[in-house]
Amino acid sequence: MFRWVDNTAELELEIEASTKEGVFADALAALAELLATEPEVQLRAGHEREGRPSVTRRVSAEAEDRPALLAAWMEELVFLAETQGFEPLAVQALELGPRSAKATVTGRLGRPPPLVKAVTYHRLSFAPAGDGYRATVVLDV
């Protein structure tokens, strides 16, 4: 489960999940909201008329600790959106280590808006909470 927390200028994401893998999947779902091609652009590009097939990408990330790994995972998705027009939809076969994450991600190719500039380290957290995990990530937009 994820929610957007009020933040004056940026976008602050709060995630709660029962597993570490769930946090990564929810982070992808949150980004999918932001990276979806705008309806107006889809209309101009003929997406509605032509439809868009599902495609997959291998995504891998490495970092020195768990919060930074979550940031690196999200950065990879932003990078793919910007350079390939890849809009993520769902994560499959996530292999999660303490300092690495590898997965196959399904999505579509489109014209994602250049809204997300970066995934920041500001108040970045990812830690056990209750029976699961809680994470906070601030995106620069």
Partner 1 sequence: MSEFPIKLVDGQLWEIPASARAGMRVPARLFADRELLAAIEQDRSLEQLANVATLPGIVEAALAMPDIHQGYGFPVGGVAATEPPEGVVSPGGVGYDINCGVRLLALPIGVEDLGDRRKPLVHELSRQVPVGTGGKGSRQGIRGANLDRVLELGPRALLEDLGIGSEEDLDLTESGGCLEGAVPGSVSARAKERGNDQIGTLGSGNHFLELQRVDRVYDEAAANAYRLREGQVTILIHSGSRGLGHQVCTDFVKRMDSQLAHYRIELPDRQLSCAPVSSPDGQAYLAAMSAAANFAWANRAAIASRARGAVQAVLGARVARGTRQVYDVAHNVAKLERHRPGGDSEERELCVHRKGATRAFPPGHPELPEVYRAVGQPVFIPGSMGTASFVLAGRERSLEVSFGTTCHGAGRRLSRTAVRKQVEGGALRQRLEQQGIAVRALSSRGLAEEAPEAYKDVERVVEVVQAAGLAAKVVRLRPIGVIKG
In the set 54, 60, 64, 95, which binds partner 1 (CB under 8 A)? 64
List binders of partner 1 among 81-120 (CB under 8 A).
81-86, 109-115, 117-120
Q: In whole angstroms, how close is the CB of 42 to partner 1 at the nearest point?
A: 11
Distances, alpha carbon 28 to alpha carbons 46, 49, 50, 130, in Å: 26, 27, 26, 22
| Range list of β-strands (E), 67-114 | 86-96, 100-109
Residues 6+ apart with CB under 8 A from 102: 58, 59, 60, 61, 94, 95
Closer residue to partner 1 (CB): 11 or 96: 11
Q: In whole angstroms, how close is the CB of 12 to partner 1 at the nearest point?
A: 9
**CA distance linking residue 81 with residue 35, whole number of Å:** 7
Q: Tell me, what DSSP letter sits at residue 41?
A: H
Interacting span for partner 1 (CB under 8 A) from 18-26, 53-61, 62-70, 97-105: 62-70
In the set 37, 59, 69, 126, which binds partner 1 (CB under 8 A)? 37
In the set 13, 28, 105, 138, which binds partner 1 (CB under 8 A)? 138
Instruction: Report how many helices (DSSP H) and strands (DSSP E) the chain contains, helices first.
Output: 4, 8
Binding-site ranges for partner 1 (CB under 8 A):
4, 6-11, 35, 37-41, 45, 63-64, 68, 72, 75, 79, 81-86, 109-115, 117-124, 138, 140-141
